[in-house]
Structures are given as C-alpha cells and as structure tokens.
Amino acid sequence: MADRLVCKNSSFHVRRGEIVGFAGLMGAGRTELARSVFGRSYGNFKSGQILINGREVTLRSVPQAIDAGLAYVTEDRKSLGLNLLDDIKTTTVSADLKKITNGLVVDKDEEFRVAEEYRKSLRTKTPSVNEGVAKLSGGNQQKVVLAKWMFTDPELLILDEPTRGIDVGAKYEIYGIIQKLADQGKGVIVISSELPELLGLSDRIYTIFEGAITGEVTREDANQESLMKLMTASRKSA
C-alpha cells in the first residue's frame, strides 16, 4: 500500500568504507525502507532525519537523492533497473546525463568512452557497448546497472538483492565489485534474502521485522541462528 508506514521508530548508520547488511523475511520492509531513504520513493513519510557527513539533508525526490550522493540498485533490474530497449552505453550514463552533456546535447564520444571504461573495469561480457542490454545475461545486465550508478559517483550505494537471478560465477564477480567500492571509501548497504551472502560480505548486519529494526550484529557475532531469531521477533521481545 502506498500509505504504509515502512520504518517504525528505527535508526541506522553506515560509515565510509563499510558494507552494512539488511536481513529480513519477505515482507519485512527492507526494500521499502531503502526506497523511503532514496528520495521517499515508497510509502508515507511521517517524520525523520537523514544525515550525510553529519549534516541533515532533505530528500523529497529521487533526483535530490542522487544529487546528495545516494544510489539505489533495485531488486528488479529488468522492470525498474533497466530499459530493455536501450543499449549499454545509453544505460551506463542515464542516471547522470549532465556529466556528459554540452548544453542539452549529449557528447556521444564521451558517452562511448565512459561505457567502454566500465565495460572493461567490470569485465562485462559483450562484443560492444552498442549492444542492447536485453541481449546480455542476467549477471552482465547487473553489471550494467552497477555501472549506471557507479557513474554518479555516490557516497552511499544501496544494493537490493544484488545477486538475485545470476549464476555463481557472476555472483563472485559482483561480490568483488562491492568490496572494491567499500575499499574506495564508499558506504554500501546490501539487502539480501541469502544469509550466507550477508555473512560473507557485511561488516555489520541490521535485522528488520514488520518495518522495525530489531537488532544490529557485528561480523564477529553474526551467524544464521542469531540473525533468524532477530528477523522473526519484534523489537520488544528481541
């Protein structure tokens, strides 16, 4: 429901260079919480604060969130993350066109250069960045989505189910990209239904139940049993 309250008296923080996991069962409110932070693109906003580098920011739209240094990789790449009619180079620059425009005209040479640079650095398997994204495998489509948001040079990258529907080899390549982003000083949030994935990637993990954050566990203390307990209990009982 569009008027659903998705975050109930909860707070969380992400440091530079840190990978923070969000764990919860289906319907717990993980995606809704992420989208409420990313320009209030879901749910009914009542009150709250978002601070970036210690300063409060007001993000009422997705463009404002992007300008503030946030990026969000959706869990549904084919419907929400990509336009399947576009080619790779167009998609790569689509979230921040102003970086490659002269006035209102897109610099096609710069568009190609940027897309080719990300193709090489992310090892996207394609004969050319002129190829349509619809022709790519799931893992390579996900790399194009990541490139699109990396091009915005975000301070905080929110990844919602970043390895859903891709093969094992591509998963490990995505894990490497996530770790590299953290090594570059980016803050990274990973939302995942796969607890082993969160346990392997995250420095800390928050658990969510019915729209409320019920726990925070460090890498050293986290295991599947402790996370599942927090994922299925209200804050009061947790």
- Interval 3-31 mean pLDDT: 83
- Interval 171-186 mean pLDDT: 95
Kindly state the percentage of the chain with pLDDT values over 90: 64
Task: Give domain status of residue 106, yes or no.
Answer: no
- Interval 158-170 mean pLDDT: 92
- Interval 172-189 mean pLDDT: 95
Q: Quote the number of domains for the chain.
A: 1
Q: Please tell me what DSSP assigns to residue 238.
A: -
CA–CA separation, 226 and 230 (whole Å): 6
Task: Give the angle subtended at the CA of 190 by the CAs of 189 and 195, to the nearest 5°.
Answer: 140
pLDDT for res 215: 92
Please state at what angle helix 138-150 crosses helix 168-183, rounded to 10 degrees. Answer: 10
Token reading at 62: 């997705």
Residue 107 has pLDDT above 90, yes or no: yes
> Cβ distance 141 to 124 under 8 Å?
no
Residue 45 has pLDDT above 60, yes or no: no
Task: Give domain status of residue 11, yes or no.
Answer: yes
CA–CA separation, 208 and 27 (whole Å): 10
Residue 50: pLDDT band with limits 50, 70, 90? confident
Q: What is the mean pLDDT of the chain?
A: 89
- DSSP H helix total and E strand total for the chain: 8, 10
Closest Cα partner for 143 from 176, 112, 191, 187? 176
Residue 183: pLDDT band with limits 50, 70, 90? very high
pTM more than 0.75: yes
Task: Give domain status of residue 110, yes or no.
Answer: no
pLDDT for res 35: 85
Task: Give domain status of residue 41, yes or no.
Answer: yes
Task: Give domain status of residue 91, yes or no.
Answer: no
Task: Give domain status of residue 60, yes or no.
Answer: yes
- Interval 197-204 mean pLDDT: 96
- Interval 123-145 mean pLDDT: 95
Task: Give domain status of residue 65, yes or no.
Answer: yes
Residue 76 has pLDDT above 90, yes or no: no
Range(s) of the domain holding residue 201: 1-69+154-238
Host H or E run for residue 196: helix 195-201
pLDDT for res 227: 94
Residue 114: pLDDT band with limits 50, 70, 90? very high
Q: Please tell me what DSSP assigns to residue 8.
A: -
DSSP 198-231: HHHH-SEEEEEETTEEEEEEETTT--HHHHHHHH
pLDDT for res 2: 46
Residue 42's CATH number: 3.40.50.300
Lowest mean pLDDT among 4-18, 32-46, 170-184: 32-46
Residue 172 burial by Cβ neighbours in a 10 Å radius (0-12, 13-18, 19+): exposed
Task: Give domain status of residue 94, yes or no.
Answer: no
> Cβ distance 112 to 89 under 8 Å?
yes
Query: Long-range contacts made by residues 62-66, C-beta under 8 angstroms, separation at least 24?
Result: 62/38, 63/39, 64/39, 65/37, 65/38, 65/39, 66/39, 66/95, 66/96, 66/152, 66/154
Residue 141 has pLDDT above 90, yes or no: yes
Token reading at 84: 């399947």
